[in-house]
Amino acid sequence: MARKPYLGIAMEGPIATWYARSTRGRLPAFVKTAAEIASWLPAGGAVLEVAPGPGYLAIEIAKLRRYQVTGLDISKSFVRIASQNAASAGVTVDFRHGDVARMPFPDASFDFVICQAAFKNFAEPLAALDEIHRVLRAGGSASIQDLRKNAPSHEIDAEIESMALDPLSALFTQLTFRFGLLRAAYKVEAIERLASRSRFGKAQILTNGIGFDLRLTKPEAMRRQP
Protein backbone atom coordinates (compact mmCIF):
# COMPACT_ATOMS: atom_id res chain seq x y z
CA MET A 1 0.00 0.00 0.00
CA ALA A 2 1.33 3.44 -0.91
CA ARG A 3 2.30 5.71 1.93
CA LYS A 4 -0.23 8.36 2.82
CA PRO A 5 1.23 11.86 2.38
CA TYR A 6 1.48 13.78 5.63
CA LEU A 7 -0.44 17.05 5.33
CA GLY A 8 0.31 18.43 8.78
CA ILE A 9 3.31 19.98 10.45
CA ALA A 10 6.16 18.22 12.23
CA MET A 11 5.49 18.18 15.96
CA GLU A 12 8.98 19.04 17.08
CA GLY A 13 10.59 21.93 18.94
CA PRO A 14 8.47 25.08 19.36
CA ILE A 15 5.49 23.51 17.55
CA ALA A 16 5.41 20.65 20.07
CA THR A 17 5.68 23.14 22.94
CA TRP A 18 2.80 25.19 21.51
CA TYR A 19 0.65 22.08 21.08
CA ALA A 20 1.35 20.95 24.64
CA ARG A 21 0.32 24.36 25.96
CA SER A 22 -2.81 24.64 23.78
CA THR A 23 -4.14 21.17 24.65
CA ARG A 24 -3.60 21.47 28.41
CA GLY A 25 -7.08 23.02 28.64
CA ARG A 26 -8.62 19.69 27.61
CA LEU A 27 -7.63 18.07 30.90
CA PRO A 28 -11.27 17.35 31.94
CA ALA A 29 -11.75 15.33 28.73
CA PHE A 30 -8.61 13.29 29.46
CA VAL A 31 -9.81 12.62 33.02
CA LYS A 32 -13.17 11.46 31.65
CA THR A 33 -11.56 9.14 29.08
CA ALA A 34 -9.29 7.62 31.74
CA ALA A 35 -12.32 6.94 33.95
CA GLU A 36 -14.17 5.32 31.04
CA ILE A 37 -11.23 2.99 30.38
CA ALA A 38 -11.09 2.06 34.06
CA SER A 39 -14.82 1.27 34.09
CA TRP A 40 -14.31 -1.85 31.98
CA LEU A 41 -10.60 -2.68 31.85
CA PRO A 42 -9.59 -4.88 34.82
CA ALA A 43 -6.87 -3.67 37.15
CA GLY A 44 -3.37 -4.89 36.38
CA GLY A 45 -3.71 -4.53 32.60
CA ALA A 46 -1.11 -3.05 30.26
CA VAL A 47 -2.21 0.05 28.34
CA LEU A 48 -0.49 1.58 25.31
CA GLU A 49 -1.26 5.05 24.05
CA VAL A 50 -0.10 5.56 20.48
CA ALA A 51 0.90 9.15 19.65
CA PRO A 52 0.33 10.45 23.20
CA GLY A 53 1.77 13.87 22.41
CA PRO A 54 2.34 15.76 25.69
CA GLY A 55 1.12 12.66 27.53
CA TYR A 56 -1.91 14.11 29.30
CA LEU A 57 -4.20 11.10 28.77
CA ALA A 58 -1.52 8.50 29.56
CA ILE A 59 -0.72 10.40 32.75
CA GLU A 60 -4.39 10.45 33.83
CA ILE A 61 -4.58 6.69 33.24
CA ALA A 62 -1.41 6.21 35.29
CA LYS A 63 -2.85 8.30 38.13
CA LEU A 64 -5.46 5.60 38.66
CA ARG A 65 -2.62 3.33 39.89
CA ARG A 66 -4.31 0.33 38.24
CA TYR A 67 -2.37 -0.14 35.03
CA GLN A 68 1.06 -0.35 33.47
CA VAL A 69 1.05 2.55 31.02
CA THR A 70 3.25 3.03 27.95
CA GLY A 71 3.28 5.78 25.34
CA LEU A 72 4.83 5.64 21.86
CA ASP A 73 5.36 8.81 19.82
CA ILE A 74 7.32 9.57 16.67
CA SER A 75 8.14 13.04 17.98
CA LYS A 76 11.27 13.18 20.13
CA SER A 77 10.06 16.51 21.50
CA PHE A 78 6.80 14.96 22.68
CA VAL A 79 8.63 12.05 24.33
CA ARG A 80 10.71 14.57 26.28
CA ILE A 81 7.73 16.79 27.18
CA ALA A 82 5.52 13.85 28.16
CA SER A 83 8.26 12.32 30.33
CA GLN A 84 8.70 15.66 32.11
CA ASN A 85 4.93 15.97 32.61
CA ALA A 86 4.74 12.46 34.08
CA ALA A 87 7.59 13.20 36.48
CA SER A 88 5.88 16.42 37.57
CA ALA A 89 2.64 14.50 38.15
CA GLY A 90 4.45 11.88 40.22
CA VAL A 91 3.44 8.93 38.06
CA THR A 92 5.33 6.34 36.03
CA VAL A 93 4.68 6.14 32.29
CA ASP A 94 7.12 4.53 29.87
CA PHE A 95 7.21 7.07 27.07
CA ARG A 96 9.22 5.86 24.08
CA HIS A 97 10.22 7.18 20.68
CA GLY A 98 9.11 5.05 17.73
CA ASP A 99 6.93 4.53 14.66
CA VAL A 100 3.46 3.00 15.04
CA ALA A 101 4.00 1.07 11.79
CA ARG A 102 7.04 -0.67 13.34
CA MET A 103 6.49 -0.71 17.09
CA PRO A 104 9.38 -1.74 19.36
CA PHE A 105 7.28 -4.12 21.45
CA PRO A 106 6.97 -7.93 21.50
CA ASP A 107 3.81 -9.64 20.30
CA ALA A 108 0.88 -9.66 22.75
CA SER A 109 2.26 -6.94 25.03
CA PHE A 110 -0.89 -4.94 25.81
CA ASP A 111 -4.50 -5.40 26.90
CA PHE A 112 -5.68 -2.08 25.50
CA VAL A 113 -4.42 0.40 22.92
CA ILE A 114 -5.75 3.91 22.50
CA CYS A 115 -4.94 6.56 19.91
CA GLN A 116 -6.50 10.03 19.91
CA ALA A 117 -6.39 12.69 17.18
CA ALA A 118 -3.39 11.21 15.37
CA PHE A 119 -4.42 8.35 13.11
CA LYS A 120 -5.16 10.66 10.16
CA ASN A 121 -1.49 11.63 10.11
CA PHE A 122 -0.07 8.11 9.96
CA ALA A 123 1.88 7.58 6.74
CA GLU A 124 1.16 3.82 6.76
CA PRO A 125 -2.33 3.45 8.27
CA LEU A 126 -2.85 -0.20 7.34
CA ALA A 127 0.53 -1.17 8.76
CA ALA A 128 -0.36 0.78 11.90
CA LEU A 129 -3.58 -1.21 12.37
CA ASP A 130 -1.75 -4.48 11.80
CA GLU A 131 0.89 -3.50 14.36
CA ILE A 132 -1.80 -2.64 16.90
CA HIS A 133 -3.28 -6.09 16.28
CA ARG A 134 0.15 -7.68 16.77
CA VAL A 135 0.94 -6.03 20.11
CA LEU A 136 -2.52 -6.70 21.56
CA ARG A 137 -3.07 -9.79 23.67
CA ALA A 138 -5.83 -12.21 22.70
CA GLY A 139 -9.11 -10.65 23.80
CA GLY A 140 -7.53 -7.19 23.92
CA SER A 141 -9.10 -4.17 22.29
CA ALA A 142 -8.23 -0.82 20.80
CA SER A 143 -9.93 2.54 20.42
CA ILE A 144 -8.87 4.94 17.66
CA GLN A 145 -10.52 8.33 18.06
CA ASP A 146 -10.09 11.01 15.43
CA LEU A 147 -11.64 13.80 13.41
CA ARG A 148 -14.23 13.06 10.72
CA LYS A 149 -13.59 14.68 7.35
CA ASN A 150 -17.25 15.77 7.10
CA ALA A 151 -17.43 17.16 10.64
CA PRO A 152 -19.85 20.13 10.70
CA SER A 153 -18.12 23.51 10.90
CA HIS A 154 -20.27 24.68 13.82
CA GLU A 155 -19.21 21.65 15.86
CA ILE A 156 -15.55 22.34 15.06
CA ASP A 157 -16.04 25.93 16.27
CA ALA A 158 -17.61 24.61 19.48
CA GLU A 159 -14.70 22.21 19.99
CA ILE A 160 -12.16 25.02 19.62
CA GLU A 161 -14.16 27.22 21.98
CA SER A 162 -14.11 24.46 24.60
CA MET A 163 -10.30 24.57 24.57
CA ALA A 164 -10.38 28.02 26.24
CA LEU A 165 -7.52 29.33 24.10
CA ASP A 166 -6.28 32.90 23.82
CA PRO A 167 -7.53 34.67 20.65
CA LEU A 168 -4.30 34.16 18.66
CA SER A 169 -4.08 30.46 19.51
CA ALA A 170 -7.78 30.00 18.73
CA LEU A 171 -7.30 31.56 15.28
CA PHE A 172 -4.24 29.41 14.60
CA THR A 173 -6.14 26.28 15.71
CA GLN A 174 -9.09 27.16 13.47
CA LEU A 175 -6.78 27.56 10.47
CA THR A 176 -5.07 24.28 11.35
CA PHE A 177 -8.43 22.49 11.30
CA ARG A 178 -9.45 24.03 8.00
CA PHE A 179 -6.22 23.71 6.00
CA GLY A 180 -4.53 20.74 7.68
CA LEU A 181 -6.58 18.44 9.85
CA LEU A 182 -9.73 18.20 7.71
CA ARG A 183 -7.66 17.58 4.56
CA ALA A 184 -5.94 14.63 6.21
CA ALA A 185 -9.01 13.26 8.01
CA TYR A 186 -10.93 10.14 6.95
CA LYS A 187 -14.55 9.75 6.06
CA VAL A 188 -16.26 7.08 8.16
CA GLU A 189 -16.69 4.86 5.08
CA ALA A 190 -12.97 5.05 4.32
CA ILE A 191 -11.88 4.15 7.84
CA GLU A 192 -14.30 1.23 7.82
CA ARG A 193 -12.80 -0.10 4.58
CA LEU A 194 -9.31 0.29 5.99
CA ALA A 195 -10.21 -1.67 9.12
CA SER A 196 -11.71 -4.45 7.02
CA ARG A 197 -8.38 -4.85 5.18
CA SER A 198 -6.39 -5.05 8.41
CA ARG A 199 -5.68 -8.13 10.51
CA PHE A 200 -8.69 -7.19 12.64
CA GLY A 201 -10.97 -7.79 9.66
CA LYS A 202 -13.87 -5.89 11.13
CA ALA A 203 -14.60 -3.04 13.48
CA GLN A 204 -17.30 -1.06 15.19
CA ILE A 205 -17.43 2.65 14.36
CA LEU A 206 -19.16 5.20 16.58
CA THR A 207 -19.60 8.85 15.65
CA ASN A 208 -19.85 11.68 18.14
CA GLY A 209 -19.55 15.41 17.56
CA ILE A 210 -16.66 16.13 15.20
CA GLY A 211 -15.10 12.69 15.42
CA PHE A 212 -15.35 8.94 15.20
CA ASP A 213 -14.31 6.13 17.51
CA LEU A 214 -13.00 3.04 15.75
CA ARG A 215 -13.38 0.07 18.13
CA LEU A 216 -11.23 -2.96 17.38
CA THR A 217 -10.96 -6.31 19.16
CA LYS A 218 -8.44 -9.11 18.83
CA PRO A 219 -10.38 -12.37 19.25
CA GLU A 220 -9.60 -14.76 22.07
CA ALA A 221 -7.10 -17.39 20.98
CA MET A 222 -8.85 -20.52 19.72
CA ARG A 223 -8.41 -23.59 21.88
CA ARG A 224 -6.33 -26.31 20.35
CA GLN A 225 -8.29 -29.34 19.37
CA PRO A 226 -7.17 -32.61 21.03
Residue 128 neighbours by CB distance under 10 Å = 24
Partners of residue 116 on adjacent β-strands: 145
Domain residue spans of the chain:
13-217
pLDDT tens-place string over residues 167-215: 776 665 665 655 556 677 888 899 999 999 999 999 999 988 788 999 9
Cβ burial of 1 (10 Å; 0-12, 13-18, 19+) is exposed
Residue 22's pLDDT is 81
Q: With a cut of 50, which residues of the chain have pLDDT below it? A: 1, 6-7, 222-226
Which CATH number applies to 13-217: 3.30.450.40, 3.40.50.150, 3.10.330.20, 3.40.50.2300?
3.40.50.150
Q: How far apart are CA 177 and CA 162, in angstroms?
A: 15
Q: What is the pTM of this model?
A: 0.85
